[in-house]
Amino acid sequence: MRLPCRWFDLVRYEKVVPNYTTNLMHRKGRTNFDYAKHSKFPIPTYYITSSEGVLTQNPARQ
């Protein structure tokens, strides 16, 4: 499923209606979709380690 770029803007600014994305993905057959985990990309390990504790990974990605 291809999502338009506008979707990423809405997620970034927390303008997505609660459960909209989860319901959409479940209707498309993606029942293992977890919004907290799949709505944001992980921070590469290199950036986390080189920041010396300033950056932390999204808790859903750990």
pTM for the model stands at 0.50
Q: Residue-wise over 50-60: b if at least 16 C-beta within 10 A, else e? A: eeeeeeeeeee
| Separation CA 10–CA 35 (nearest Å) | 13
Largest alpha-carbon pair distance within the chain?
42
Tens digits of residue pLDDT in 4-34? 677 777 777 777 777 888 888 889 898 888 8
Residue 51 has what pLDDT?
A: 92
Mean pLDDT estimate for the chain? 81
